[in-house]
Amino acid sequence: MPNTCGLLRAIDEGREHPDKKVCMENLPASSQVTLKLTVDSTYQQSTIVQVDILVDEVVLLRVDKQSCRDINLFGGAPTDLGLVKPIP
């Protein structure tokens, strides 16, 4: 899929964060990639966050959830950020 992007939004988003949208020039079929997206929202407050997956600026998938107030990563940071891998 050409021009594939992940876009993160929050209901109470403050200033626009430069890492709220990450794009890949090409994501091959039957492949996956881990992206790190960041949004600026109110510290330690619950909010709704939304992730969009876009191809050529067309939304293919939209998921929203209640955010977690704890900003620590459980299990540590992923080591395969940006690495295109086959879907198992």
Parallel, antiparallel or unpaired: strands 48-55 and 58-66 = antiparallel
Q: What is the CA radius of gyration of the chain?
A: 14
Instruction: Please report the pLDDT score of residue 62 as a whole number.
Output: 96
CA separation for the pair 87, 13 (Å, rounded): 32
Domain residue spans of the chain? 2-68
19 has pLDDT over 70: yes
CA–CA separation, 21 vs 35, rounded Å?
9
Q: Is the pLDDT at 75 greater than 70, yes or no?
A: no
pLDDT for the residue 31: 95
Q: Which tens digits make up the pLDDT trace of 20-59?
A: 999 999 999 999 999 989 888 887 778 899 999 999 999 9
Of the CA atoms within 13 Å of residue 34, those in its CB half-sphere come to 7
Q: What global pTM score does this model have?
A: 0.83
